[in-house]
Structure 1
Amino acid sequence: MSTHAAGTITMKSWEETTWEGKAHQEVSGAKRTTGTMVGEYHGELEGTGETRFVMTYISDTDCYSVGYEVVSGVLGGKSGTFVLQHVGRFRDGTVSGGFTVVPESGTEGLVGLSGSGGIVWAEGEAGKYTLDYVISE
């Protein structure tokens, strides 16, 4: 039986450049970029995550992204790290997407962690996440 976790995430830093090395704001319209984000989780998950993204912009306000995030913190009272694989979209000022826990990525008290969830994040606000997970012994 899985446990349902929910909470918020706030952005601590964001860096994004085009594949050619320009600041992403310098290039309008369709483009390919890479980015790094550091976020802080609050709620059932308390910790920090560092994500590396690859994004394809269709326009300045619409893009698709994939990424991997290393999360370090406490989930369900157990400490450790784990990796999330993200697939998402930014459209009309809101990020929405899903993620899965990378199999066998949990460490310390989070060894055996599996699960999936989602995130919705409107520009200028804290993001909201959900995670349904199991920690197998």
Structure 2
Amino acid sequence: MKATGTIEVKSWDEKTWDGRPYKEVEGRKLTEAHVQFSYAGDVTGTGSCRYLMSYADDVCWTTALEEIVADEGTLVLRHVGAYRTSVEAVIEIVDGTGRFAGARGAATVDWAEDGSGTYTLEYEV
């Protein structure tokens, strides 16, 4: 199955592991971000994501789990990637409920500078 549509960042709350706002800490650091996305199109709903990040000199390594709650069920996505000058990520669909029960597959997101993007989900149930 294939689903496409748009995605938008609704909120981004990122702090260092000791609770400080991440922008206040220079250089190398470990952070956690709580992010909310909105999805429209073939899958319409809200994504809740928890990123763990490691900032190095020229890259920010990321890993995350996200749950998309849609009208017809939920999807769980696992993100592994990096940010240099743009987002580089492998996103796997690892589970689901409702219409997406037991879903397995892959997702891609093409991001724009303003925090909006387009998604493609390809999965089997």
Q: Same fold (TM over 0.5)?
A: yes
Q: Of the candidates 25, 31, 34, which is equivalent to residue 33 of structure 1?
A: 31
Shift of 1:39: 0.2
Q: Of the candidates 87, 104, 108, which is equivalent to residue 98 of structure 2?
A: 108
Equivalent position of 1:88 in the other structure: 81
Equivalent position of 1:22 in the other structure: 20
CA contact (8 A) 2:6 2:119 kept: yes
Equivalent position of 1:127 in the other structure: 117
In 1, distance between residues paired with 2:2 and 2:16?
37
TM-score (norm 2): 0.89
Name the Cα RMSD after superposition: 1.7
CA contact (8 A) 2:9 2:115 kept: no
TM-score (norm 1): 0.82
109-118 vs 18-27, which moves further: 109-118
1:109-129 deviation line (CA, Å, top 9, x unaligned):
221322112223233241222
In 2, distance between residues paired with 1:8 and 1:110?
19
% identical equivalent positions: 38
Residue segments in structure 2 that go unaligned for 5+ positions in a row:
none
Q: Report the number of matched residues.
A: 125
In 2, distance between residues paired with 1:133 and 1:82?
10
Residue segments in structure 1 that go unaligned for 5+ positions in a row:
none
Equivalent position of 1:48 in the other structure: 46
